[in-house]
Structure 1
Amino acid sequence: MQMNSQVNFSSISANLNSIPVLNGTNFKEWKENILITLGCMDLDLALRVEQPASLTDASTQDEKRYYEKWDRSNRLSLMIIKRGIPESFRGAVSDEVTNAKDFLSEIEKRFVKSDKAEISMLLKDFTSKRYSGKGNIREYIMEMSYIVSRLKTLKIEISEDVLVHIVL
């Protein structure tokens, strides 16, 4: 039994430590890690489905179990989400938000970058990045291709001629 709890604790710790701290510029990566971690820990129910109706005296055992599972998912999800957000950012979201899905949505409103800012950053990286002659040229070319593909998803096309000229 002790071995099993050590494995669970180390697994939980590893999952939590894989979540980067939200810093305002890494929202997409942070959110992706939150969702993957909560999914792997089977705690994402509160993010996937709406809160079930409150329990009443007439609630069935199945309804009570489902509500308890959803409530546990919501509480733990909120704790894990808040753990990955610095205290100064957390104050921006009201303490009154007790639903993990709503909390994540509020964070997203405040920290998701606009397309223009991302395009600007990617173009700056694309035009200023140079191969130094040291290290793996393949990695450099892959980085540049990745930047171009990100720009393409933002509807900014870079021609192959320009790509070859800048990369070389």
Structure 2
Amino acid sequence: MSLYILFAASMNLFALGNSVVKFNGLNYADWSEQIQFQLGIYDLDLAIVMDEAPPAITETNTADDKSLYEAWKRSNRLALNLMRLSMDENVKPSMPKTDNAREFMNILKEYSHSDITDKSIVGTLMSELTTKKFDWSQPIHDHVTGMINLAARLKTMGMEVNESFLVQFIMNSLPPKFGQFQVNYNTIKDKWNLQEIKAMLVQEEGRLKKVRIILFT
């Protein structure tokens, strides 16, 4: 096989890996469905659909046996690579130690329902929620919505974040340019709920952008 063909195959596999949702320990159903769909499109799902790997080739095997084995071996290798490429960083340390694609997928199915997974993901989500920072790469509305969604995911795993704590996490995520906003928030008697703080932050973001435009014109 030429180096060009090997390079093209690697690039196609990398592209497939980026098109599949990352397995994070909670989304096995969606992840496995997308993996099987992508492998099926490229006729690489043989190792996933066969209950067992075909026996190793010997001198007594027929041409059909050899063809089946080679097709399975290629499917198994590429399916494993695709699944490993689509692992989220927080679950990679617990990646199955097997060279069988079907077994790899079955282990992940069991893993997705384990207490170990829940604890690991809860820790990751909680860390992300408490350290997240607004960096102007997206609208403040989307930033706040993302933090609310993180809290919602934690709630589905039995870790409910009190609304007042979540509001404080959002306030802590703001950069120095929101300093006056934070001072005003801390001086008011009534605390805002999530919808109120989202609306007020959108308003403050607009004000800061206008100030910046004036300063640079």
| TM norm. shorter chain > 0.5 | yes
Pairs aligned (count): 113
1:47-86 Cα deviation digits (max 9, x unpaired): 1112111111111122111100011000100000111113
Determine the C-alpha separation between the residues in 2 that align with 1:13 and 1:98: 19
Answer yes or no: is the 8 Å Cα contact 1:93–1:106 preserved in 2. no
Answer yes or no: is the 8 Å Cα contact 2:14–2:85 preserved in 1. no
Determine the C-alpha separation between the residues in 2 that align with 1:10 and 1:75: 15
**Matched residue, 1:58:** 60
Question: Structure 1: which amino acid aligns with 2:103?
Answer: D
In the alignment, structure 1 residue 34 sits paired with structure 2 residue 43: no
Answer yes or no: is the 8 Å Cα contact 1:25–1:113 preserved in 2. no
Task: Kindly state the Cα deviation for residue 23 of structure 1 after the two structures are TM-superposed.
Answer: 1.5
Task: Kindly state the Cα deviation for residue 93 of structure 1 after the two structures are TM-superposed.
Answer: 3.7
Q: Pick one of 77, 84, 96 that aligns with 2:86.
A: 84
Structure 2 residue matching 1:28: 3-state secondary structure? helix
Of all paired residues, the percent bearing the same amino acid is 31
Determine the C-alpha separation between the residues in 1 that align with 2:86 and 2:99: 16
**Matched residue, 2:108:** 107
State the 4+ residue runs in structure 1 displaced beyond 6 angstroms: 7-11
Seen in structure 2, the aligned counterparts of structure 1 residues 9 and 38 have a Cα distance that, compared at 3 Å, is same
Counterparts of 1:1-168 in structure 2 under 5 Å?
14-49=15-50, 50-95=52-97, 97-112=98-113, 121=156
Question: Structure 2: which amino acid aligns with 1:39?
Answer: G
1:123-151 Cα deviation digits (max 9, x unpaired): xxxxxxxxx9xxxxxxxxxxxxxxxxxxx
Unaligned runs of 5+ in 2: 116-152, 157-194, 196-217
Seen in structure 2, the aligned counterparts of structure 1 residues 71 and 27 have a Cα distance that, compared at 3 Å, is same
Question: Structure 1: which amino acid aligns with 2:91?
Answer: F
Task: Kindly state the Cα deviation for residue 90 of structure 1 after the two structures are TM-superposed.
Answer: 3.2
Answer yes or no: is the 8 Å Cα contact 1:16–1:37 preserved in 2. no
Structure 2 residue matching 1:70: 3-state secondary structure? helix
Answer yes or no: is the 8 Å Cα contact 2:17–2:83 preserved in 1. no
TM-score by length of 1: 0.56
**Matched residue, 2:122:** none
Question: Structure 1: which amino acid aligns with 2:82?
Answer: I
Task: Kindly state the Cα deviation for residue 27 of structure 1 after the two structures are TM-superposed.
Answer: 1.9
Answer yes or no: is the 8 Å Cα contact 2:57–2:66 preserved in 1. yes
In our comparison, the structure showing a higher alpha carbon Rg is 2
Determine the C-alpha separation between the residues in 2 that align with 1:82 and 1:13: 11
Answer yes or no: is the 8 Å Cα contact 2:47–2:76 preserved in 1. yes
TM-score by length of 2: 0.45
Answer yes or no: is the 8 Å Cα contact 1:27–1:112 preserved in 2. no
Answer yes or no: is the 8 Å Cα contact 2:80–2:101 preserved in 1. yes
Seen in structure 2, the aligned counterparts of structure 1 residues 107 and 29 have a Cα distance that, compared at 3 Å, is same
